[in-house]
Structure 1
């Protein structure tokens, strides 16, 4: 039931947050010489006006497709790492989250590559006249045929650099918040507390690694038009800073933070309600801190969505 609840919660997070993610990617990648969007809200408006509301959900098949496997890796690794470490401390929460983030990158990187390519396809067009990819799976297959495993894993290093500390910060922030606010099952404010803790933990995680995400998105989108701009991570950083200054590392940050809170809040609330409904109050979590070795173990593996 833990696995099912985690998957349902993660799916809820993807549905709530994907439009914000599409805007984030468009802003991160757009040309500084010929920008299509003036900012977050203008990007939202432009996509809806030019591509319809469905344009905000381009590439959603990829995160949905990889959701089950990524959740299984994250939850399993984080829980087992906490048991190996033996003590539920903030530092151990960080280490367990970092281990989970590193291992799930193996699936996360190809998934986000397909998502990014799909999100960029048909920019500004309601009905794309040149559809390179039918769907996320077709996107990965075509990339594999053209570039092999190296192409499918484009952006793996930056994904590892982002996900390892990012998941560590997430679990650490969530643990610290829930230890301080508490949320017993009979507390009438348990769900609002879960929403708050999850949302704020997601924001903390993104703030800690966002510049790396900008570079990752640019590397994964590189070559879409047939021309590769960057030869390496360092080259991407140099060119981006030279052309746009250090503020380039905040591109799309507003959309990301707007997305982070509801995504994590939706995930936590959904997971908690599923567990309470399935198990009853007595079997539900006694508090909402994840990864406790005793009475917190039941909700530990549900406290992290598949994508921050």
Structure 2
């Protein structure tokens, strides 16, 4: 049994690569959320690149990093849950098959929602705060923790878990698709210790798996973002998930479910690529250049879970 199965390792190792992924991808996530929840009657942004330009011009570069504290805080715990649950689920399922990879990933995705949902609620609220203002005079939340504390004080546990159902619907199949896609791609591409293109192959597999995961559940993410941003201005627009779907489709048509998709796909590949690159460097320096590729090969043939590099590199927030 390797150190990858140690709870402390699972808790602390993913922080470095995961943090790199968050730093690279958070601006894209901010743009995605702004596009998903903007008022259809008075839209502020015409598209992905216009949104980027507007945020930098109106709110400075730091506007793209609003709410980053929340995913940074929850990152380690979510990675520990995801990788630990996925590995244990694969051991219980036995055979390392694509179907079992999906089931194990789905189980991991469902369980980590306990942390993911409140984390994304705080992130979304912070990202929407002070939209279009360089120095907001109506700053409701000081930071992510203050945001959750205020929501809890006003709405209780139910308020902190706003969007939990949609988060479960998104994360459960989303993580299943990610682990399945990554497993299929790494097997097809090969991961041999003497392959000079092993690292590019891993980067490509991780990036494409992330894209596949987002495409499979993106419409649900739009509804989740709208529900979690609802009430920021003091008025609740939606009474339920079904009501949010009905109102969104009635006002904007079915294309509403693709709002922010370009930003999401642009984010998916580099986030996974940055994470894989960081993992590779950590393995090379901590275990030696020759041992790191061996771990990769063992991961491909192991019946104890998904590929080990895969387990260390899945970011928090499809």
Of 235, 238, 249, the match for 2:246: 238
In the superposition, the TM-score normalised over structure 1's length comes to 0.96
> Which structure 2 residues correspond to residues 111-260 of structure 1 after superposition, within 5 A?
111-260=119-268
Q: Is the 8 A contact 1:81 1:96 kept in 2?
A: yes
Moved more, 103-112 or 5-14: 5-14
Match of 1:26 in 2: 34
Match of 2:18 in 1: 10
Tell me how far apart the structure 2 counterparts of residues 291 and 226 of structure 1 sit (CA, whole Å).
Answer: 54
| Gaps in structure 2 of 5+ consecutive residues | 5-9
Deviation at 1:306, TM superposition (A): 1.9
Q: Is the 8 A contact 2:90 2:305 kept in 1?
A: no
Q: RMSD value over aligned CA atoms?
A: 1.6
Deviation at 1:291, TM superposition (A): 8.7
Match of 2:53 in 1: 45
Aligned pairs, how many? 308
Q: Is the 8 A contact 2:96 2:304 kept in 1?
A: no
- 1:132–1:213 distance in 2 versus 1, CA, 3 Å: same
Whether 1:79 and 2:87 are equivalent positions in the alignment is yes
What SS class does the counterpart of residue 186 from structure 2 fall into? helix
In the superposition, the TM-score normalised over structure 2's length comes to 0.93
What SS class does the counterpart of residue 301 from structure 1 fall into? helix
Deviations 1:83-133 (A, max 9, x none): 111111100000000000000001000000000000000000111111000
| Gaps in structure 1 of 5+ consecutive residues | none
Match of 1:99 in 2: 107
Q: Is the 8 A contact 1:9 1:266 kept in 2?
A: yes
What SS class does the counterpart of residue 302 from structure 1 fall into? helix
Moved more, 7-16 or 49-58: 7-16
Whether 1:286 and 2:296 are equivalent positions in the alignment is yes
Moved more, 291-300 or 211-220: 291-300
What SS class does the counterpart of residue 95 from structure 2 fall into? coil
- 1:66–1:286 distance in 2 versus 1, CA, 3 Å: closer
Deviation at 1:188, TM superposition (A): 1.9
Match of 2:7 in 1: none
